[in-house]
Amino acid sequence: MRIAIVDYGVGNLTSIQNMMKKAGNEAIISRDAQEIDEAGKIVLPGMGHFDNCMQKFNASGLRPIIEKAVFEFRKPVLGICVGLQMFMQASEEGTEPGLGWIAGNCIRFRQEKMLPGQKIPHMGWQNVTGLKESRLLQDLVEPRFYFAHSFHVNADDPHDELLVAEYGYSFAAALEKDNILGVQFHPEKSHRFGMQLLKNFAENY
């Protein structure tokens, strides 16, 4: 089943594609509406400022096609970093509305809750803890992933949380709601753990 990595001008597209290939699965990088429409699964990357990502995504003309794929045809979608944050209704980082696919918002790390020496942005390797069973987590034993972010998602429904991590306090590192999945970390930079997670997305959904 073809996997489309959405090219709307943002994200580590080639790195995601290469890690997917290392995991044994082919993915295309595309901004072509027909190619994305025909894909069985979708990866929505994101890097940088929330508003910039939302503006570029909305301007790409791909949003209606992808929303039809996600909600009408129930195709699996994986958001990465700001791609996950875009699933929410809003972000403290900007003023653009989010996609609103998952109820909640995106908030900045609270400096007053940080431990001595902890800085924002949160950067580096971090252990994560699973909160529920998921095909995305298959064969991941004591997983660690690479993070680089100043904001994190805050879902209204705790049942949407899949993974949590600790940085001053517990925050959601991944969400899963039906066919909508998203990770705050960068699987393409997370070595064997990231490779396994992308393999799980490609093969288990």
Q: How many C-alpha atoms does 121 have within 13 Å on its Cβ side?
A: 15
Burial of 108 (0-12, 13-18, 19+ CB in 10 A): middle
| Catalytic residue status for 53 | no
- Name the catalytic one among 81, 93, 106, 122: 81
Q: Which of 93, 161, 176, 188 is catalytic?
A: 188
Is residue 186 part of the annotated active site? The answer reads yes
Catalytic annotation on 81?
yes
Please identify which of the residues 122, 149, 152, 186 carries the catalytic annotation: 186
The DSSP annotation for 30-96 comes to E--HHHHHH-SEEEE---S-HHHHHHHHHHTT-HHHHHIIIIIS---EEEETHHHHTTSSEETT-SS
- CA gyration radius, the chain: 16
- Give catalytic residues, as residue numbers: 81, 186, 188
